[in-house]
Structure 1
Amino acid sequence: MILRLWSGWTTPGGAADYDELLDREVAPQILRRDLPGLERFEVWRRVEEEEGAEPEFLTAMWFSDVASVRAFTGGDPHASVVPPRARERLARFDTRSRHYELRRRHR
């Protein structure tokens, strides 16, 4: 199992608009691709934002293997996949994603 993490930051006033775009367009577009090996896809927003800080959104995607990640990105597994309309709403974003391999689960 591979966990792919990517972050993007908006302006304080643009967070609600970006959040809506994620729900309305970005996530549905990814899910419509019906990617083999995509097990789970979640969007998180950082809680402890300071006054005036750029709100951070974190996408967490669980893939069965690196080949599935490559299928999602079109080749380079670390490449960011940020649609143009999302780029317009972000102040900045990770140009490379981070990946973690599941070693064990504890309950």
Structure 2
Amino acid sequence: MILRVWHGWAAGAQAAAYEELLNTTIAPGILRRGIPGLRELDVLRGASDVDGTEFVTLMVFDDWAAVREFAGDDLTGSVVPPAARALLSRYDEHAQHFELVHRHRADDSARCA
């Protein structure tokens, strides 16, 4: 599995507006695309500070072909719609990607004892 991590920041009142846009329009729109191999899309919101409020999206894909279907030929390039750009004070131009090498689950630890 491939995990795609992206960060964006929204200042002041824009944070609430961006969160709403992300959760009611952008994320559902991505999922409606029916990208084969896209398993999930998580939205994280960090604490507000002088840079604004940090948002992180974490997308889980089966493989690089699924990432390419989402992002296009520039696999690391940000996919930020114009409406989101208008609300964000800054954002990652490129996403980071990580290969999941092992997942440890809390309920698995009881089997190891």
* CA–CA separation in structure 2 for the residues paired with 1:74 and 1:54: 29
Q: List alignment gaps of at least 5 residues for structure 2.
A: 106-113
Aligned equivalent of 1:28:
28
The residue type paired with residue 59 of structure 1 is T
* CA–CA separation in structure 2 for the residues paired with 1:92 and 1:66: 27
* CA–CA separation in structure 2 for the residues paired with 1:57 and 1:29: 18
Aligned equivalent of 2:38:
38
CA RMSD in angstroms, aligned pairs only:
1.0
SS of residue matched to 1:12: coil
SS of residue matched to 1:9: strand
The residue type paired with residue 35 of structure 1 is I
SS of residue matched to 1:61: strand
* CA–CA separation in structure 1 for the residues paired with 2:82 and 2:15: 17
Q: List alignment gaps of at least 5 residues for structure 1.
A: none
SS of residue matched to 2:70: helix
The residue type paired with residue 86 of structure 1 is A
1:94 to 89, 92, 100: 92
Aligned equivalent of 1:76:
74
Q: Give the deviation of 1:53 after TM superposition.
A: 3.9
Normalization by structure 1: what TM-score? Answer: 0.93
Aligned equivalent of 1:67:
65
Aligned length: 105
Name which one, 1 or 2, has greater alpha-carbon Rg: 2
Provide runs of 4+ in structure 1 moved above 6 Å.
none
| Alpha carbons 2:45, 2:54 under 8 Å: kept | yes
Tell me the percent identity. 50
Relative to its length, the structure with more strand (as a share) is 2
